[in-house]
Amino acid sequence: MFKALLPALLTLSSFCLPAADLYVSPDGRDNWSGRLKQPNSRKTDGPLATLSAARDAARKLPSGEARRIVVAGGKYFLAETLVLDARDSGLSIEAAPDETPLLYGGRRITGWQKDGPDFWSARLPVIDGKPWHFRLLAVNDRVARPARLPASGYFLHQTKFGVRWMGSNGGGWERKPTPEELTTMRYAAGDLGEWLDIRNAEVTVYHMWDESLVTLRALDAGTRTLAFTAPAGHPPGAFGVQKYVVWNTREGMHAPGQWYLDRSAGKVVYWPSPGEDMRAAEVVAPAVESIIRLAGTREVPVREITLRGLALSVTDTPAVAGGFGAGRYDGALAASFAENCRLERLAVYNTGGQGIKALNTSDLAVVDSEVRDTGACGILLRGARARIANNHIYRVGLSYPSAIGVYCGGQDLDVSHNEVHDTPYTAINCGGTGHQINANLIYRAMTELHDGAAIYFINGRNITLRGNLVKDIPDTGGYGSSSYYIDEWSEGCVVEENVSIGVARPSHNHWAKKNTIRNNIFIHDGEMRLTFPRSAGFRFENNVLYTRGRIAIANGEAIGEASGNLFFSGSKLVEGAPAGTLIADPLLEIEGARYGFASGSPAGKLGIKPLDVSTAGRKKSR
């Protein structure tokens, strides 16, 4: 009787057990089941070869079964974006234990040949009937530097635009720029000429807080005029800025490690670095702008997808102006209308556009990840109740210097314990309401553009900045740079218990009202400025300003309430201090990232608390 019941019991047991995971491996085949980690001995079954095949197989699993795709270490080349939609809700895609799968958004380039004494080149295939054009090249997992004119620094063009900027919330330009003003630029004699191949050349026109990447329609050597194929974001010469750079020409090849795409000849040209053998080098160029896309809709969002332990690299961008924060470009990992999704322990690098871009999301988590060497922003997110925490974000804006380390907006976001550095513009920018921006470590931001900060928000309501540590933010001119910047129409925000080290203007506040700055410690060796143009109704209390140079408070009438502040100037020059400010030595005692006061300091009597920002930045793994 037992033998008769055995088949039925086995069938019932199989039905009750959860589904096995699906496996993907470089050794796999898409006509296998994907239920085995490794190929069987007869090579009749084993893991799948591609994520798209695994996604399709997961969609066929019976309703209610667990759906997890486990990806083995190795390299995967995706010629098309992996799209996950509402059918994939609940799916987890994660790396096999102790392995790192690397997903490339492009193809290898082979067949390299000598091209002159220093260069090597490779012919490019036609893909789907179109020339393969791209704007990023990775050689041995390193982003190659594009050919550049001039070799360093900038050219100065001769176009001027004297119209007044009225502010983002004041309507922009006092007079709308004409199409000609947005599409033409005059260069100086000797900089360019008829030799410039406009089919290849791309131009970055610098503005104040952003830039425009344009391609060329014409060059008139007689009038020294460049004509753009599409309008720039601002007219050349706006804000008094006249810098520009030309990319992607043979004349811009000045040193090993550079490359350009010769569209006229249908080839890519590279100057190998010392020790690089182009016959053995792995060269990858992008074929897509996004490697993985969570593609929900407003009516049918994608829900509860987890991506864990994956590495994403090599994506492309179009040659268009990116706007503020280079926000127009796509992300290597992109999401829209995604709910309760989790992006964890990811490595995103060598991207043409954003590292991660998520729009119209709710309850999204981006945690414990590294995002670096991006053409545009590290993380760009707009949504509700997102958590961006414990990430390492650096070397962003390689192609678009207006890029921001973490650029976010929406409602009730938690941006905490991130380490953000080496950004040409702002490190963290948030707009919206109810955000907590706490315990972040930021350094070497604002290295190229102007009118930004380590932490900057515009149109913010009830945002709190607490426990952040900012160091070494340079002032490169223009409208300047700051540690903490409250901009237009921000109200009800609190900047408290933060530290600023080595920043000339630790606090800048523009066209904002009814915000609070309290119990912060600002330290600098040179002149220190705090500015409040067009602002009103600020509370400024229990702050310590310590510098060996002069202290100047500009537009101090914006401070409606002030108490318990302590200023020390080594040069004994203090201008515009709020009423009741004590000018005295705070007797600082600094131990690592702990900022206290020696016995006898007046800080205690004023109610100023010592600060411990040693936990700012990434938390150490347990």
The per-residue pLDDT for range 567-615, each reduced to its tens digit, is: 999 999 999 999 999 999 999 999 999 999 999 999 999 999 999 999 9
Rounded to whole angstroms, the Cα distance separating 311 from 194 reads 44
**Under 8 Å between Cβ of 342 and 306:** yes
Task: Flag whether pLDDT at 7 surpasses 70.
Answer: no
Cβ neighbour number for residue 603 with a 10 Å cutoff? 23
Task: Flag whether pLDDT at 1 surpasses 50.
Answer: no
Rounded to whole angstroms, the Cα distance separating 208 from 451 reads 7
Query: Average pLDDT of the chain?
Result: 95
Give the H/E segment covering residue 584: none
CA 576, 578, 583, 589 torsion-angle sign:
negative
Rounded to whole angstroms, the Cα distance separating 601 from 595 reads 13
Rounded to whole angstroms, the Cα distance separating 471 from 502 reads 6
DSSP letter string, 203-253: EEEE-SS-EEEEEEEEEETTTTEEEESS--SS-TTGGG--EEEEES-GGG-
DSSP letter (8 states) at residue 177: P
C-alpha distances in Å from residue 589, one per residue of 593, 607, 611 = 10, 17, 11
Q: How confident is the model at residue 20 (pLDDT cuts 50, 70, 90)?
A: low
Predicted confidence (pLDDT) per residue in 237-279, tens digit? 999 999 999 999 999 999 999 999 999 999 999 999 999 999 9
Rg over alpha carbons for the chain, rounded to the nearest Å, is 27
N residues, the chain: 622
DSSP β-bridge partners for residue 245: 204
Across 569-600, b (16+ Cβ under 10 Å) vs e yields beeeebebbbeebbeeebebeeeebebbbeee
Residue type, 223: T
**98: three-class secondary structure by DSSP:** coil
What pLDDT was estimated at residue 621?
A: 60
Find the mean pLDDT for residues 134-143: 97
Strand ranges in 375-515 using DSSP code E only, listed in sequence order: 379-384, 387-389, 392-394, 406-411, 414-416, 419-421, 428-433, 436-438, 441-443, 452-457, 460-461, 464-466, 469-471, 481-486, 494-496, 499-501, 507-509
Cβ neighbour number for residue 81 with a 10 Å cutoff? 19
Find the mean pLDDT for residues 205-227: 97
Predicted confidence (pLDDT) per residue in 447-488, tens digit? 999 999 999 999 999 999 999 999 999 999 999 999 999 999
Task: Flag whether pLDDT at 15 surpasses 70.
Answer: no
Least confident window among 14-23, 125-134, 455-464, 586-595: 14-23
Domain positions in the chain are 1-67, 73-105+290-369+393-403, 108-284
Least confident window among 1-5, 142-146, 153-157, 255-259: 1-5
Predicted confidence (pLDDT) per residue in 368-384, tens digit? 999 999 999 999 999 99
Q: What torsion, rounded to 10 degrees, do the Cα atoms 21, 27, 33, 39 define?
A: -90
pTM of the model: 0.95
